[in-house]
Chain A
Amino acid sequence: MLEGLKIENLSAGYGNREILKDVSLEAPEGELVFLLGPNGAGKSTLLKCAAGLLRPRSGRLLLRGRDIREASSRELSRLVGYVPQSMRPAFSTTVFEAILTSRLPYISWGPSKADLERTEEVIRELGLEELAFRYINELSGGEWQKVVLAMALVKEPILLLLDEPTSNLDLKHQVEAMRILRDLVKGKSLSAVITTHDINLASKYADIIVLMKNGRIHAIGEPHRLLDGETIREVYGVKVEVIRGASLFVSPA
């Protein structure tokens, strides 16, 4: 099996509050790993640790077998494409330039030919040609989400960390975003860790689901094996009905 991201016995927190407690998991290359769990379970904190934005208290994070602490911040920045939960740009700029900005870990004085060409390539991959010179504050939620994804991908990362990438999207855009993401992850053998509150979306697109509760991992597994009424009740404290058809459907009982 190809080695993507491997997290070993990770603990982390802010101030004297410990949020993640002894978390271990693997995100192999070419697979979509979804993090599910109630608010405050530590999903976003886990992503921040993996992106190198939060220093773990203990434990290790290995990216392709290498401890991320050994990587320089520029190197780590190239390897990891992180998209925070909500980005609030302070001033507007064009889509092309917003994506180009994300090439920062490759840029010294100004963008090189390679930076510009890579930006154009990502714009084509995500079908953003029509939007390339629109201003980012004029985009719809679905368009912006694709731009954000492009910003993560333009760095040519080997690990994608997406914090609730579909939370503002309607059904059509959710499906579209997930398909694009799945094709990219499979096609380029990336590792991807995605947080969401949408159990149905996760069960449809995840290769691996990680259920988190109170900073610990409650269960890990393939969606169909992992998600049953009992497990979901344990994690969310809500009684649900799990309907198994062509795909799985979870509904409050």
Chain B
Amino acid sequence: MTPLTYSAVAQYKRLSRKRFIIILSLFFSLILAFMASLCTGSAHVPPLKAIATLLGRESDFDTIIWEIRLPRALVAVFAGAGLALAGAVTQASVRNPMASPFTLGISSASGFGAALAIVLGAGRFIRTYLGGVTVSSYFLLIISSFLFSLLATFIIFFLARFKGATPETIVLTGIAISFLFSALTSFTQYFGTTEQVASIVFWLFGSLSKASWNAFWAIFSVSVVALAIFWRWSYKYNALLLDDEFARNLGVNPETLRLASMVLASLVTATIVSFLGIIAFVCLAAPHIARMIVGSEHRYLIPASALVGANILVLSDIASRMLLPPVIIPVGIITSFLGAPVLLYLILGKKRHWY
């Protein structure tokens, strides 16, 4: 028997408080990771000096902190958060745990945009002393990559609009787009020069070495706007997770919510990917990790996903600089390397069926 003092409301509040504390811990963990990111690298910066530099009281490390490490760490925070947010709402929108903006073809479209720009000579290519190839002029490449991501988004948008925005049509359209642009990328690689192919391959590895203040402002703006909008729609996602028709009875239009969410998630992904290249797995793994620690209530899941994504990317970036110095491993490789075992551990150790 339930005791007379039983109160579901009190228990719900305890649950909410627990989730709030988890989110707060993720936030503090992110601050620590962020500071660590400022301190690690080829030149070690002591933590106190790093803080002093940020406050403008130390000049020895001005250049390294303000021009290199701070934009890089900030880009990692907001790119990680943005990718995770895009993943979380894509999973909710198409009601499928395997969906992410990447499975919708956004990344392959973006990759093709970049490859095309490189082959058409949009960037200049420079061999670095480590033997890698880097592209020095990014502007046209970023534009091209972004435009092709938008194209993929609009193909999904119009097909879904025309054929009805069911989860199945959206996912299948995404897969088709993904294959189409992969084929086009292979085509450009086949006909490109060796150097161009090297540049394309290098670009396809997502890397934070491309981070700049410009990248930061672009990624920061879209991620923050997306966070605000997605968070506002939390309860609509909660309803959509239960059932389409049921959500409709609650005053939510599933098709409109789905399309608006997908377009916004695609824009966020397109912006991030066009600046940094393809950083896989964050948008798939981060929402799942968040879901396993705070549940599927989107008022908590959305901020938690963003924080988990930011943590993953900042920590991966630190790892990418520490594993094989002085080589900086592209962070896209590390995120999968680091994220996959964490996700597998959570899935294998799970006490509940989440899906």
Contacts and interface: CB of A to CB of B under 8 A. Distances in A.
Interface in A140-186: 151
Q: Bin the interface of chain A by size.
A: 35 or more
A123 B245 contact: no
- Among B96, B239, B251, find the residue whose CB has the most chain A CB atoms closer than 10 A: B251
B243 interface: yes
Contacts of A129: 2, 6, 8
The B interface is mostly helix, strand or loop, or mixed, namely helix
Interface residues of B, number: 38
Interface string B318-355: 00000000000000000000000000000000001111
Contact of A97 (B6, B96, B249, B297): B297
Contact of A82 (B238, B239, B246, B295): B246
A107 interface: yes
B336 to A, nearest CB: 23
A98 B2 contact: no
Nearest to A74: B251
Interface string A87-106: 11111111011101110110
Nearest to A84: B245
B127 interface: no
B11 interface: yes
B251 A89 contact: no
Contacts of A138: 352-353
B2 A130 contact: yes
B353 A137 contact: yes
Contacts of B297: 93, 97
B97 interface: yes
A92 B296 contact: yes
- Counting chain A CB atoms within 10 Å of each CB, the highest count among B95, B245, B355 belongs to B245
B88 to A, nearest CB: 11
Interface of A: 48, 51-53, 73-74, 76-77, 80-84, 87-94, 96-98, 100-102, 104-105, 107, 109-110, 116-117, 119-120, 123, 129-130, 132-133, 135, 137-138, 151
Given A90-B241, A96-B11, 10 more contacts: A84-B243, A90-B97, A90-B240, A91-B97, A92-B296, A92-B352, A101-B239, A101-B250, A104-B235, A120-B9
Interface of B: 2, 6-9, 11-12, 15, 91-92, 95-97, 232, 235-236, 238-243, 245-246, 248-252, 291, 295-297, 299, 352-355
The 7 closest A-B pairs by CB, nearest first: A90-B95, A87-B243, A77-B251, A82-B249, A84-B245, A91-B296, A104-B250
12 contacts: A77-B249, A87-B242, A90-B95, A91-B241, A91-B296, A102-B239, A104-B235, A104-B238, A107-B235, A119-B8, A119-B9, A135-B353
